[in-house]
Structure 1
Amino acid sequence: MHIFMTGASGWIGSAVVPELLAAGHQVRGIARSAMSAARLRAAGVDVVEADLDNLDVLGAQAERADAVLHLANKHDWSNPAESNRAERASVQTFLTALEGSGKPFLLAAGTARPIGRPLTELDDNPFSAADSPRGGSEGLAMSYADRGVRAVSLRFAPTVHGTGGDHGFISLIARAARERGASAYVGDGTNRWTAVNRLDAARLVALALARAEAGTAVHAVAEEAVTSRSIAEAVGAALGVPVISVPAEGAVEHFGWIGNFFALDMPASAQLTRERFGWEPTHPSLAEDIAAGAYTV
Protein backbone atom coordinates (compact mmCIF):
# COMPACT_ATOMS: atom_id res chain seq x y z
CA MET A 1 0.00 0.00 0.00
CA HIS A 2 0.92 3.64 -0.45
CA ILE A 3 0.59 5.06 3.06
CA PHE A 4 0.39 8.74 3.89
CA MET A 5 1.64 9.35 7.39
CA THR A 6 1.82 12.23 9.83
CA GLY A 7 4.28 12.03 12.71
CA ALA A 8 6.63 9.77 10.75
CA SER A 9 9.69 11.45 12.27
CA GLY A 10 8.28 11.43 15.82
CA TRP A 11 9.01 9.17 18.78
CA ILE A 12 6.46 6.51 17.83
CA GLY A 13 6.33 7.18 14.11
CA SER A 14 10.05 6.71 13.59
CA ALA A 15 9.67 3.19 14.99
CA VAL A 16 6.56 2.50 12.89
CA VAL A 17 8.19 3.41 9.57
CA PRO A 18 10.61 0.43 9.49
CA GLU A 19 7.71 -1.92 10.29
CA LEU A 20 5.70 -0.57 7.36
CA LEU A 21 8.61 -0.70 4.94
CA ALA A 22 9.47 -4.25 6.02
CA ALA A 23 5.87 -5.22 5.23
CA GLY A 24 6.33 -3.95 1.68
CA HIS A 25 4.46 -0.67 1.98
CA GLN A 26 5.54 2.66 0.53
CA VAL A 27 5.41 5.55 2.98
CA ARG A 28 4.96 9.25 2.32
CA GLY A 29 5.26 11.52 5.35
CA ILE A 30 5.02 15.18 6.23
CA ALA A 31 8.03 17.09 7.53
CA ARG A 32 7.95 20.53 9.14
CA SER A 33 11.70 21.16 8.98
CA ALA A 34 14.73 20.39 6.86
CA MET A 35 16.09 18.23 9.66
CA SER A 36 12.94 16.12 9.82
CA ALA A 37 12.87 15.85 6.05
CA ALA A 38 16.45 14.58 5.99
CA ARG A 39 15.71 11.97 8.66
CA LEU A 40 12.66 10.75 6.77
CA ARG A 41 14.51 10.47 3.45
CA ALA A 42 17.30 8.55 5.16
CA ALA A 43 14.68 6.16 6.53
CA GLY A 44 13.21 5.54 3.08
CA VAL A 45 10.19 7.85 3.35
CA ASP A 46 8.97 10.12 0.55
CA VAL A 47 8.73 13.61 2.02
CA VAL A 48 5.91 16.11 1.81
CA GLU A 49 6.90 19.47 3.26
CA ALA A 50 3.87 20.51 5.30
CA ASP A 51 2.40 20.58 8.79
CA LEU A 52 -0.99 19.93 10.38
CA ASP A 53 -2.25 23.38 9.42
CA ASN A 54 -1.76 22.76 5.68
CA LEU A 55 -5.21 21.21 5.31
CA ASP A 56 -5.29 21.36 1.52
CA VAL A 57 -2.08 19.34 1.38
CA LEU A 58 -3.36 16.81 3.92
CA GLY A 59 -6.59 16.30 2.01
CA ALA A 60 -4.87 15.91 -1.35
CA GLN A 61 -2.36 13.41 0.04
CA ALA A 62 -5.14 11.39 1.68
CA GLU A 63 -7.04 11.15 -1.59
CA ARG A 64 -4.04 9.74 -3.46
CA ALA A 65 -2.97 7.32 -0.69
CA ASP A 66 -4.22 3.79 -0.06
CA ALA A 67 -4.24 4.41 3.70
CA VAL A 68 -3.66 7.26 6.15
CA LEU A 69 -1.80 6.88 9.44
CA HIS A 70 -2.17 9.94 11.65
CA LEU A 71 0.28 10.00 14.56
CA ALA A 72 1.19 13.69 14.74
CA ASN A 73 -0.10 16.16 17.30
CA LYS A 74 1.06 19.64 18.22
CA HIS A 75 1.28 18.66 21.90
CA ASP A 76 1.44 22.30 22.94
CA TRP A 77 0.86 21.87 26.68
CA SER A 78 0.99 25.63 27.15
CA ASN A 79 -1.93 26.04 24.73
CA PRO A 80 -4.00 22.83 24.66
CA ALA A 81 -6.88 24.60 22.95
CA GLU A 82 -4.68 25.18 19.90
CA SER A 83 -3.52 21.56 19.89
CA ASN A 84 -7.15 20.40 20.09
CA ARG A 85 -8.21 22.74 17.29
CA ALA A 86 -5.45 21.58 14.97
CA GLU A 87 -6.15 17.93 15.72
CA ARG A 88 -9.86 18.30 15.03
CA ALA A 89 -9.28 20.16 11.77
CA SER A 90 -6.71 17.70 10.42
CA VAL A 91 -8.79 14.62 11.32
CA GLN A 92 -11.90 16.13 9.75
CA THR A 93 -9.88 16.87 6.62
CA PHE A 94 -8.70 13.28 6.38
CA LEU A 95 -12.17 11.85 6.98
CA THR A 96 -13.76 14.09 4.36
CA ALA A 97 -11.15 13.01 1.83
CA LEU A 98 -11.56 9.31 2.64
CA GLU A 99 -15.34 9.11 3.04
CA GLY A 100 -16.84 6.35 0.91
CA SER A 101 -13.45 5.00 -0.17
CA GLY A 102 -13.16 2.04 2.20
CA LYS A 103 -9.56 3.05 2.89
CA PRO A 104 -7.96 2.62 6.31
CA PHE A 105 -7.58 5.63 8.57
CA LEU A 106 -5.63 4.97 11.75
CA LEU A 107 -5.22 7.75 14.29
CA ALA A 108 -3.36 8.12 17.55
CA ALA A 109 -5.47 8.29 20.68
CA GLY A 110 -4.80 7.29 24.27
CA THR A 111 -5.77 5.10 27.21
CA ALA A 112 -5.26 7.92 29.69
CA ARG A 113 -8.81 7.98 30.98
CA PRO A 114 -9.62 7.39 34.68
CA ILE A 115 -12.95 5.55 34.79
CA GLY A 116 -12.65 3.65 38.08
CA ARG A 117 -11.66 0.35 36.44
CA PRO A 118 -9.37 -0.79 33.63
CA LEU A 119 -10.30 0.79 30.33
CA THR A 120 -11.08 -1.79 27.63
CA GLU A 121 -11.18 -1.69 23.85
CA LEU A 122 -14.98 -1.85 24.02
CA ASP A 123 -15.27 1.37 26.01
CA ASP A 124 -16.39 4.26 23.85
CA ASN A 125 -14.69 7.60 24.17
CA PRO A 126 -17.28 10.07 25.52
CA PHE A 127 -15.27 13.08 24.36
CA SER A 128 -16.49 13.92 20.87
CA ALA A 129 -17.01 17.69 20.95
CA ALA A 130 -14.56 19.97 19.20
CA ASP A 131 -13.41 21.48 22.50
CA SER A 132 -12.80 18.04 24.06
CA PRO A 133 -9.32 16.60 24.65
CA ARG A 134 -7.62 15.95 21.29
CA GLY A 135 -10.50 17.85 19.74
CA GLY A 136 -12.75 14.83 20.16
CA SER A 137 -10.91 13.30 17.20
CA GLU A 138 -11.32 9.65 18.24
CA GLY A 139 -15.09 9.92 18.47
CA LEU A 140 -15.17 11.87 15.22
CA ALA A 141 -13.18 9.19 13.43
CA MET A 142 -15.29 6.36 14.81
CA SER A 143 -18.41 8.09 13.51
CA TYR A 144 -17.08 7.50 9.98
CA ALA A 145 -16.75 3.74 10.45
CA ASP A 146 -20.15 3.29 8.79
CA ARG A 147 -19.47 6.00 6.20
CA GLY A 148 -16.97 4.12 4.09
CA VAL A 149 -13.83 4.72 6.14
CA ARG A 150 -11.96 1.89 7.89
CA ALA A 151 -11.43 4.05 10.95
CA VAL A 152 -9.22 2.54 13.67
CA SER A 153 -8.24 4.15 16.96
CA LEU A 154 -4.70 3.47 18.16
CA ARG A 155 -4.94 4.01 21.89
CA PHE A 156 -1.38 4.35 23.15
CA ALA A 157 -0.42 4.02 26.78
CA PRO A 158 0.49 7.41 28.30
CA THR A 159 4.03 6.07 28.68
CA VAL A 160 5.49 4.90 25.37
CA HIS A 161 9.05 4.32 26.52
CA GLY A 162 12.38 3.29 25.10
CA THR A 163 15.99 4.31 24.61
CA GLY A 164 17.22 6.99 22.29
CA GLY A 165 15.37 10.20 23.01
CA ASP A 166 11.95 9.88 24.65
CA HIS A 167 10.75 13.37 25.58
CA GLY A 168 7.43 12.19 26.99
CA PHE A 169 5.93 11.97 30.44
CA ILE A 170 8.58 9.78 32.08
CA SER A 171 11.31 12.13 30.93
CA LEU A 172 9.47 14.92 32.77
CA ILE A 173 9.17 12.80 35.91
CA ALA A 174 12.90 12.05 35.75
CA ARG A 175 13.77 15.69 35.14
CA ALA A 176 11.82 16.71 38.22
CA ALA A 177 13.75 14.10 40.23
CA ARG A 178 17.08 15.48 39.03
CA GLU A 179 16.10 19.07 39.72
CA ARG A 180 14.54 18.36 43.14
CA GLY A 181 17.11 15.82 44.26
CA ALA A 182 14.37 13.29 45.01
CA SER A 183 12.16 10.99 42.97
CA ALA A 184 8.55 11.37 44.02
CA TYR A 185 5.15 9.79 43.75
CA VAL A 186 1.84 11.35 44.83
CA GLY A 187 0.12 10.22 48.02
CA ASP A 188 0.52 6.50 48.65
CA GLY A 189 1.64 5.87 45.07
CA THR A 190 -0.87 3.10 44.38
CA ASN A 191 -2.45 4.84 41.41
CA ARG A 192 -1.78 2.96 38.18
CA TRP A 193 -0.42 3.93 34.76
CA THR A 194 -0.01 1.86 31.62
CA ALA A 195 3.15 1.52 29.58
CA VAL A 196 4.43 0.07 26.30
CA ASN A 197 7.82 -0.06 24.64
CA ARG A 198 7.84 2.00 21.44
CA LEU A 199 9.09 -1.00 19.41
CA ASP A 200 6.22 -3.17 20.62
CA ALA A 201 3.79 -0.33 19.87
CA ALA A 202 5.21 0.04 16.37
CA ARG A 203 4.68 -3.63 15.65
CA LEU A 204 1.07 -3.36 16.78
CA VAL A 205 0.43 -0.40 14.48
CA ALA A 206 1.52 -2.48 11.49
CA LEU A 207 -0.72 -5.35 12.60
CA ALA A 208 -3.68 -3.02 13.03
CA LEU A 209 -3.15 -1.50 9.59
CA ALA A 210 -3.29 -4.95 8.06
CA ARG A 211 -6.11 -6.49 10.07
CA ALA A 212 -8.18 -4.11 12.23
CA GLU A 213 -11.82 -3.72 11.25
CA ALA A 214 -13.62 -0.41 10.95
CA GLY A 215 -14.60 1.03 14.32
CA THR A 216 -11.97 -0.93 16.24
CA ALA A 217 -10.07 0.47 19.20
CA VAL A 218 -6.59 -1.02 19.56
CA HIS A 219 -4.80 -0.82 22.92
CA ALA A 220 -1.04 -0.41 22.66
CA VAL A 221 -0.52 -1.44 26.27
CA ALA A 222 2.11 -3.93 27.41
CA GLU A 223 1.97 -3.23 31.15
CA GLU A 224 -1.61 -2.64 32.23
CA ALA A 225 -1.12 -1.35 35.77
CA VAL A 226 2.26 0.12 36.73
CA THR A 227 2.02 1.98 40.04
CA SER A 228 3.39 5.49 40.24
CA ARG A 229 5.38 4.45 43.29
CA SER A 230 7.17 1.73 41.32
CA ILE A 231 7.96 4.28 38.61
CA ALA A 232 9.36 6.68 41.20
CA GLU A 233 11.43 3.89 42.77
CA ALA A 234 12.88 2.91 39.40
CA VAL A 235 13.76 6.53 38.60
CA GLY A 236 15.26 7.04 42.06
CA ALA A 237 17.46 3.97 41.71
CA ALA A 238 18.63 4.99 38.24
CA LEU A 239 19.48 8.53 39.35
CA GLY A 240 20.78 7.64 42.80
CA VAL A 241 18.34 9.93 44.61
CA PRO A 242 15.92 9.20 47.47
CA VAL A 243 12.28 8.31 46.83
CA ILE A 244 9.65 10.38 48.59
CA SER A 245 5.90 10.92 48.69
CA VAL A 246 4.43 14.33 47.97
CA PRO A 247 0.85 15.28 48.87
CA ALA A 248 -1.64 15.87 46.10
CA GLU A 249 -1.63 19.60 46.80
CA GLY A 250 2.13 19.67 46.27
CA ALA A 251 2.23 17.64 43.06
CA VAL A 252 2.40 20.57 40.65
CA GLU A 253 5.05 22.28 42.75
CA HIS A 254 7.28 19.20 42.59
CA PHE A 255 6.61 17.95 39.04
CA GLY A 256 5.27 20.95 37.17
CA TRP A 257 2.05 20.71 35.15
CA ILE A 258 2.34 16.93 34.86
CA GLY A 259 1.95 16.52 38.62
CA ASN A 260 -1.84 16.27 38.64
CA PHE A 261 -1.73 13.89 35.69
CA PHE A 262 0.82 11.64 37.42
CA ALA A 263 -1.58 11.30 40.36
CA LEU A 264 -4.42 9.81 38.29
CA ASP A 265 -5.39 6.14 38.38
CA MET A 266 -5.57 5.00 34.74
CA PRO A 267 -5.20 1.23 34.26
CA ALA A 268 -6.16 -0.23 30.90
CA SER A 269 -6.54 -3.73 29.48
CA ALA A 270 -5.10 -4.97 26.20
CA GLN A 271 -6.61 -8.45 26.36
CA LEU A 272 -8.81 -8.05 23.29
CA THR A 273 -5.97 -6.48 21.32
CA ARG A 274 -3.70 -9.43 22.11
CA GLU A 275 -6.40 -11.92 21.13
CA ARG A 276 -7.40 -10.13 17.93
CA PHE A 277 -3.91 -9.59 16.55
CA GLY A 278 -1.77 -12.21 18.23
CA TRP A 279 0.31 -9.37 19.63
CA GLU A 280 2.74 -10.22 22.40
CA PRO A 281 5.15 -7.51 23.59
CA THR A 282 8.75 -8.71 23.66
CA HIS A 283 10.84 -5.60 24.28
CA PRO A 284 12.09 -4.20 27.63
CA SER A 285 9.60 -3.08 30.26
CA LEU A 286 9.42 0.45 31.60
CA ALA A 287 11.46 -0.45 34.69
CA GLU A 288 14.08 -2.14 32.50
CA ASP A 289 14.42 0.90 30.24
CA ILE A 290 14.71 3.20 33.24
CA ALA A 291 17.34 0.93 34.81
CA ALA A 292 19.26 0.86 31.52
CA GLY A 293 19.67 4.65 31.72
CA ALA A 294 17.09 5.78 29.16
CA TYR A 295 16.01 8.66 31.43
CA THR A 296 19.17 9.57 33.33
CA VAL A 297 20.23 12.48 31.10
Structure 2
Amino acid sequence: MRIFLTGATGFIGSALVLELIKADHQVVGVTRSDAGAEALAAAGAEVYRGTLEDPEGLRDGAAKAEAVIHTAFDHDFSRFVENCEKDKRVIAALGAALAGSDRPLVITSGVGMGSPGHGQLAIEDVFNASHPNPRIASEMAGNALLDAGVNVSVVRLPQVHNPVKQGLISPLIGIAREKGVSAYVGEGRNRFSAGHLSDAARLYRLAVEKRQPGARYHAVGE
Protein backbone atom coordinates (compact mmCIF):
# COMPACT_ATOMS: atom_id res chain seq x y z
CA MET A 1 0.00 0.00 0.00
CA ARG A 2 0.93 3.61 -0.45
CA ILE A 3 0.82 4.82 3.17
CA PHE A 4 0.80 8.47 4.25
CA LEU A 5 2.60 8.71 7.61
CA THR A 6 2.62 11.71 9.91
CA GLY A 7 5.35 11.94 12.54
CA ALA A 8 7.57 9.99 10.17
CA THR A 9 10.82 11.32 11.63
CA GLY A 10 9.81 10.97 15.28
CA PHE A 11 10.84 8.28 17.75
CA ILE A 12 8.06 5.90 16.76
CA GLY A 13 7.56 7.15 13.22
CA SER A 14 11.16 6.58 12.15
CA ALA A 15 10.95 2.96 13.30
CA LEU A 16 7.59 2.59 11.58
CA VAL A 17 9.00 3.83 8.26
CA LEU A 18 11.49 0.96 8.27
CA GLU A 19 8.85 -1.55 9.42
CA LEU A 20 6.49 -0.58 6.60
CA ILE A 21 9.14 -0.55 3.89
CA LYS A 22 10.38 -3.96 5.05
CA ALA A 23 6.82 -5.23 4.49
CA ASP A 24 6.88 -3.87 0.91
CA HIS A 25 4.68 -0.84 1.55
CA GLN A 26 5.40 2.52 -0.07
CA VAL A 27 5.78 5.22 2.58
CA VAL A 28 5.06 8.91 2.12
CA GLY A 29 6.53 10.50 5.23
CA VAL A 30 5.59 13.93 6.54
CA THR A 31 8.33 16.25 7.75
CA ARG A 32 8.77 19.96 8.27
CA SER A 33 12.58 20.12 8.04
CA ASP A 34 15.40 19.59 5.58
CA ALA A 35 17.08 17.20 8.01
CA GLY A 36 13.88 15.18 8.23
CA ALA A 37 13.58 15.08 4.46
CA GLU A 38 17.13 13.77 4.17
CA ALA A 39 16.47 11.07 6.78
CA LEU A 40 13.29 9.93 5.06
CA ALA A 41 14.91 9.82 1.64
CA ALA A 42 17.83 7.82 3.06
CA ALA A 43 15.35 5.32 4.54
CA GLY A 44 13.65 4.88 1.19
CA ALA A 45 10.50 6.93 1.84
CA GLU A 46 8.92 9.63 -0.27
CA VAL A 47 9.00 13.07 1.37
CA TYR A 48 5.93 15.22 1.98
CA ARG A 49 6.32 18.65 3.57
CA GLY A 50 3.71 19.41 6.18
CA THR A 51 2.98 20.49 9.74
CA LEU A 52 0.29 19.94 12.36
CA GLU A 53 -0.51 23.63 12.08
CA ASP A 54 -1.67 23.08 8.48
CA PRO A 55 -4.28 20.31 8.59
CA GLU A 56 -5.52 21.12 5.10
CA GLY A 57 -2.04 20.51 3.72
CA LEU A 58 -2.01 17.12 5.45
CA ARG A 59 -5.46 16.40 4.03
CA ASP A 60 -4.13 16.98 0.51
CA GLY A 61 -1.32 14.49 1.08
CA ALA A 62 -3.61 11.91 2.64
CA ALA A 63 -6.04 12.13 -0.27
CA LYS A 64 -3.43 10.57 -2.58
CA ALA A 65 -2.70 7.61 -0.30
CA GLU A 66 -4.21 4.15 0.07
CA ALA A 67 -3.90 4.32 3.87
CA VAL A 68 -2.96 6.85 6.55
CA ILE A 69 -1.16 6.38 9.86
CA HIS A 70 -1.11 9.38 12.19
CA THR A 71 1.65 9.29 14.82
CA ALA A 72 2.56 13.00 14.98
CA PHE A 73 1.83 14.94 18.17
CA ASP A 74 3.12 18.20 19.64
CA HIS A 75 4.74 17.12 22.92
CA ASP A 76 4.95 20.59 24.46
CA PHE A 77 3.19 19.62 27.69
CA SER A 78 2.95 23.25 28.82
CA ARG A 79 0.26 23.52 26.09
CA PHE A 80 -1.15 20.02 26.37
CA VAL A 81 -4.86 20.87 26.14
CA GLU A 82 -4.26 23.11 23.14
CA ASN A 83 -2.16 20.43 21.45
CA CYS A 84 -4.85 17.80 22.00
CA GLU A 85 -7.35 20.07 20.29
CA LYS A 86 -4.87 20.58 17.46
CA ASP A 87 -4.58 16.82 17.11
CA LYS A 88 -8.37 16.60 16.93
CA ARG A 89 -8.40 19.02 13.99
CA VAL A 90 -5.67 17.09 12.19
CA ILE A 91 -7.53 13.79 12.62
CA ALA A 92 -10.70 15.37 11.23
CA ALA A 93 -8.78 16.63 8.18
CA LEU A 94 -7.10 13.28 7.54
CA GLY A 95 -10.43 11.50 7.85
CA ALA A 96 -12.09 13.91 5.44
CA ALA A 97 -9.50 12.92 2.83
CA LEU A 98 -10.57 9.28 3.15
CA ALA A 99 -14.33 9.81 3.29
CA GLY A 100 -16.38 7.67 0.94
CA SER A 101 -13.77 4.92 0.76
CA ASP A 102 -12.60 1.92 2.77
CA ARG A 103 -9.04 3.28 3.02
CA PRO A 104 -7.85 2.82 6.63
CA LEU A 105 -6.84 5.59 9.01
CA VAL A 106 -4.88 4.55 12.10
CA ILE A 107 -4.69 7.25 14.77
CA THR A 108 -2.79 7.44 18.06
CA SER A 109 -3.93 7.81 21.65
CA GLY A 110 -2.74 6.79 25.11
CA VAL A 111 -3.30 3.48 26.84
CA GLY A 112 -4.83 5.31 29.80
CA MET A 113 -7.81 6.27 27.66
CA GLY A 114 -9.00 2.68 28.10
CA SER A 115 -9.56 3.13 31.84
CA PRO A 116 -13.23 3.36 32.88
CA GLY A 117 -12.32 5.30 36.03
CA HIS A 118 -9.58 6.42 38.41
CA GLY A 119 -7.33 3.54 39.45
CA GLN A 120 -9.06 1.03 37.20
CA LEU A 121 -7.36 -1.20 34.66
CA ALA A 122 -7.24 0.14 31.09
CA ILE A 123 -8.56 -2.32 28.52
CA GLU A 124 -9.03 -2.18 24.76
CA ASP A 125 -12.81 -2.61 24.84
CA VAL A 126 -13.35 0.55 26.89
CA PHE A 127 -14.00 3.97 25.40
CA ASN A 128 -14.60 6.53 28.15
CA ALA A 129 -15.85 9.72 26.51
CA SER A 130 -15.80 11.51 29.88
CA HIS A 131 -12.17 10.65 30.58
CA PRO A 132 -10.52 13.68 32.26
CA ASN A 133 -7.32 13.42 30.20
CA PRO A 134 -7.50 15.95 27.32
CA ARG A 135 -5.98 13.32 24.99
CA ILE A 136 -9.44 11.76 24.78
CA ALA A 137 -10.08 14.46 22.14
CA SER A 138 -8.11 12.36 19.65
CA GLU A 139 -10.39 9.38 20.14
CA MET A 140 -13.47 11.60 20.06
CA ALA A 141 -12.36 12.82 16.65
CA GLY A 142 -11.77 9.26 15.51
CA ASN A 143 -15.22 8.17 16.72
CA ALA A 144 -16.88 11.03 14.85
CA LEU A 145 -15.18 9.87 11.66
CA LEU A 146 -16.15 6.27 12.37
CA ASP A 147 -19.79 7.35 12.70
CA ALA A 148 -19.44 9.08 9.32
CA GLY A 149 -18.28 5.84 7.70
CA VAL A 150 -14.50 6.33 7.73
CA ASN A 151 -12.41 3.22 8.47
CA VAL A 152 -10.70 4.37 11.68
CA SER A 153 -8.78 2.35 14.25
CA VAL A 154 -6.60 3.53 17.13
CA VAL A 155 -3.29 2.48 18.63
CA ARG A 156 -3.04 3.38 22.30
CA LEU A 157 0.56 3.88 23.35
CA PRO A 158 2.05 3.20 26.78
CA GLN A 159 5.58 4.17 27.80
CA VAL A 160 7.58 3.25 24.66
CA HIS A 161 11.29 2.55 24.91
CA ASN A 162 14.37 1.13 23.23
CA PRO A 163 17.94 0.75 24.54
CA VAL A 164 18.65 4.44 23.83
CA LYS A 165 15.48 6.21 24.97
CA GLN A 166 13.11 5.35 27.80
CA GLY A 167 10.48 8.01 27.22
CA LEU A 168 9.17 9.98 30.18
CA ILE A 169 11.26 8.09 32.73
CA SER A 170 14.56 8.97 31.02
CA PRO A 171 15.10 11.98 33.35
CA LEU A 172 14.50 9.75 36.39
CA ILE A 173 17.09 7.28 35.14
CA GLY A 174 19.53 10.16 34.66
CA ILE A 175 18.97 11.36 38.23
CA ALA A 176 19.46 7.84 39.59
CA ARG A 177 22.76 7.52 37.74
CA GLU A 178 23.90 10.89 39.04
CA LYS A 179 22.89 10.29 42.67
CA GLY A 180 23.65 6.58 42.87
CA VAL A 181 20.18 5.80 44.23
CA SER A 182 16.74 5.44 42.65
CA ALA A 183 13.74 7.03 44.34
CA TYR A 184 10.34 5.35 44.43
CA VAL A 185 6.87 6.14 45.75
CA GLY A 186 5.58 4.39 48.86
CA GLU A 187 6.67 0.76 48.98
CA GLY A 188 7.73 0.75 45.34
CA ARG A 189 4.91 -1.50 44.20
CA ASN A 190 3.61 0.89 41.54
CA ARG A 191 3.49 -0.48 38.01
CA PHE A 192 2.85 1.09 34.61
CA SER A 193 2.45 -0.24 31.10
CA ALA A 194 5.31 -0.20 28.62
CA GLY A 195 6.26 -1.51 25.21
CA HIS A 196 9.36 -1.78 23.05
CA LEU A 197 9.72 0.53 20.07
CA SER A 198 9.98 -2.30 17.54
CA ASP A 199 6.81 -3.92 18.91
CA ALA A 200 4.91 -0.63 18.68
CA ALA A 201 6.01 -0.17 15.06
CA ARG A 202 4.91 -3.71 14.24
CA LEU A 203 1.51 -3.11 15.81
CA TYR A 204 0.89 -0.01 13.69
CA ARG A 205 1.74 -2.03 10.57
CA LEU A 206 -0.57 -4.87 11.53
CA ALA A 207 -3.37 -2.42 12.36
CA VAL A 208 -3.22 -0.71 8.97
CA GLU A 209 -3.03 -4.05 7.18
CA LYS A 210 -5.96 -5.52 9.12
CA ARG A 211 -8.21 -2.55 8.28
CA GLN A 212 -10.69 -3.23 11.09
CA PRO A 213 -12.98 -0.22 11.68
CA GLY A 214 -13.37 0.76 15.32
CA ALA A 215 -10.57 -1.45 16.61
CA ARG A 216 -8.50 -0.30 19.58
CA TYR A 217 -5.05 -1.75 20.16
CA HIS A 218 -2.92 -1.38 23.29
CA ALA A 219 0.77 -1.40 22.34
CA VAL A 220 1.67 -3.02 25.66
CA GLY A 221 4.28 -5.72 26.03
CA GLU A 222 5.42 -5.20 29.62
Q: In the alignment, what sits opposite 1:295?
A: none
How far apart are residue 184 of structure 1 and its match? 1.2
Give the whole-Å Cα distance in 1 for the aligned partners of 2:211 and 2:190. Answer: 31
Does structure 2 retain, via aligned residues, the 8 Å contact 1:7–1:72? Answer: yes
In structure 2, runs of 5+ residues without a counterpart are none
Partner of 1:185: helix, strand, or coil? Answer: coil
Counterparts of 1:112 and 1:189, CA distance in 2: 20
Q: Give the whole-Å Cα distance in 2 for the aligned partners of 1:179 and 1:80.
A: 30
Partner of 1:117: 120
Contact 2:85 2:137 survives alignment (8 Å): no
State the partner residue of 2:129.
126
Give the TM-score normalised by structure 1: 0.69
- Write out aligned runs for 1:1-297 (5 A): 1-113=1-113, 115=117, 116-127=119-130, 133-134=134-135, 136-157=137-158, 159-164=159-164, 166=165, 168-178=167-177, 180-223=179-222
With over 3 angstroms needed to count, the CA separation of the structure-2 counterparts of 1:92 and 1:100, relative to structure 1, is same
Code of the residue aligned with 2:53 in structure 1: it is D
Q: Considering only aligned residues, what root-mean-square deviation do their CA atoms show, in Å?
A: 2.0
Q: Report the Cα distance in structure 2 between the residues aligned to 1:80 and 1:176, rounded to whole angstroms.
A: 25
Q: Distance in 1 between matches of 2:26 and 2:60?
A: 17
TM-fit CA distance, 1:85: 2.6
TM-score (norm 2): 0.90
Does the 8 A contact of 1:125 with 1:138 survive in 2?
A: no
Listed one character per residue, the Cα deviations across residues 258-280 of structure 1 (whole Å, up to 9, x for unaligned) are: xxxxxxxxxxxxxxxxxxxxxxx
Residues 108 and 138 in structure 2, CA contact (< 8 A), matched pair in contact too? no
Greater shift in the superposed pair: 168-177 or 20-29? 168-177
Helix, strand or coil at the partner of 1:47: strand
Q: Please state whether the residue corresponding to 1:186 is helix, strand or coil.
A: coil
Any conservation in 2 of the 1:87–1:135 contact (CA below 8 Å)? no
Quick one: distance in 2 between partners of 1:42 and 1:167? 25
In the alignment, the residues of structure 1 paired with residue 135 and residue 74 of structure 2 have an alpha-carbon distance, to the nearest angstrom, of: 10
Deviation (angstroms), 1:82: 2.8
Distance 1:221 1:210 in 2: 19
CA contact (8 A) 2:160 2:166 kept: no
Structure 1: unaligned runs, 5 residues or longer: 224-297
The structural deviation recorded for 1:154 is 0.2
CA distance in 2, matches of 1:175, 1:63: 43
Does the CA contact (< 8 Å) of 2:73 and 2:83 recur in 1?
Answer: yes
Further displaced range: 184-193 or 106-115: 106-115
Q: 1:135 to 1:200 in 2, by over 3 A?
A: closer
Amino acid at match of 2:172: I
Partners of 1:150 and 1:29 lie apart in 2 by 21
The answer (yes or no) to whether the contact 2:107–2:154 under 8 Å persists in 1 is yes
Judging changes above 3 Å, is the alpha-carbon distance between structure 1 residues 9 and 167 closer, same or farther for their aligned structure 2 residues? farther
Distance 2:81 2:147 in 1: 29
Partner-residue secondary structure (3-state), 2:149: coil
Asked if the contact 1:88/1:135 (under 8 Å) is kept, the reply is no
Count how many residue pairs are aligned between Structure 1 and Structure 2.
219
> Partner of 2:135: helix, strand, or coil?
helix
